[in-house]
Amino acid sequence: MNNAVHSWDHWRSFLTVLDTGSLSAAARALALTQPTVGRHVDALEAGLGAPLFTRSRHGLAPTPLALSLVPQARAMALAAESLLRTASGERDAARGTVRITASEMVGTWVLPPLLADLRAQHPGIVLELALSDRNEDLLRREADVAVRMARPTQEALVARHAGTVRVGLFAHRRYLAAHGTPQTPEEALGHALIGIDRDEARLAGLAIGGRHLSREDFSLRCDSDVAQLMAVKAGLGIGACHLALAAHDPDLVPVLPEAVMFGLEVWIAMHEDLRTSRRVRLVFDHLAAGMAAYAGRAGS
């Protein structure tokens, strides 16, 4: 193998071509010229002694070899991003980049005001927010700080419990005016319910009145918590919502609050190696305090 195989620039071009499907699209994404991206791919192929892409009228298609190299190349990308974040600020300085991961719901509705306060206090910190309902792997440095709605189980993590967010069923008052308010769990099952589509792990724990719910029980199925909440706000039916969020919308009415209520633990986590990084610690402490305050609202 030649030195091209050891160049991160070449592997970055490879991944971007893989993701975009063409040299021209990859060049635009990387702010490079198309010939430069082409040379990077050609150099990799020469170093490996085998093609990485085949050309067709639909663009560039990865070969089996290319697909087999994707996990390692992605790992290189994550390591490079982590290196750049670490190098972006001195270890004891309140400046540089911190990457935060959170669920779609928390990242959309809860974190923005917390991050605005953080930036006002520490304008030298640059924030990256990755919204995902899967647990980002802090051990692989996919993120620096994670806001998780379950206790982290990985070793080598520093985690702080920030409270428990209470969740209940809600409906828009317009929906209830048209269809009535269910008084029992059995009545609720006859209403338009909003819930999970294909996320089997989350679906497995859903029940109303002791009866397990399947996806067929839902009139609107979606795996996005934010989309579910917006559907509830639009009057499509009955769905789940954080009590603290519902408290801000007078049109959201609790449904069966005594019968259907559950809690989600909130944890803030980071890799133990980042404890001495002042900017990461500042973000960690700020989010822990902010999420604790959020969890304590509206009887949460």
Structural domain boundaries, residue 44: 3-87
Tokens 């193998």 correspond to what residue? 1
- Domain stops at, among 45, 66, 87: 87
Per the CB < 8 A criterion, the answer to whether 88 and 96 are in contact is yes
- Domain stops at, among 87, 119, 151: 87
CATH number at residue 11: 1.10.10.10
pTM: 0.67
> Does the residue 231 lie in any domain?
yes
Question: Which residue positions in the chain have pLDDT lower than 70?
Answer: 1-6, 82-93, 135-137, 139-140, 298-300
Three-state SS string over 132-175 comes to: CCCCCCHHHCCCCEEEECCCCCCCCEEEEEEEEEEEEEEEEHHH
Sequence-separated (6 or more) residues with CB below 8 Å from residue 127: 97, 98, 99, 100, 115, 118, 119, 283
Residue 157 sits at φ, ψ, to 5 deg, of -115, 145
Q: What digits encode the pLDDT tens for the residues 115-148?
A: 999 999 999 999 999 998 776 667 667 889 999 9
> Does the residue 92 lie in any domain?
no
Together in a domain, 149 and 297: yes
pLDDT at residue 207, as a whole number: 79
- Domain stops at, among 60, 87, 114: 87
What is the Rg, in whole angstroms, of the alpha carbon atoms belonging to the chain? 24
Our count of domains for the chain comes to 2
Residue-wise DSSP of 8-28: HHHHHHHHHHHHHSSHHHHHH
Together in a domain, 83 and 132: no
pLDDT at residue 32, as a whole number: 85
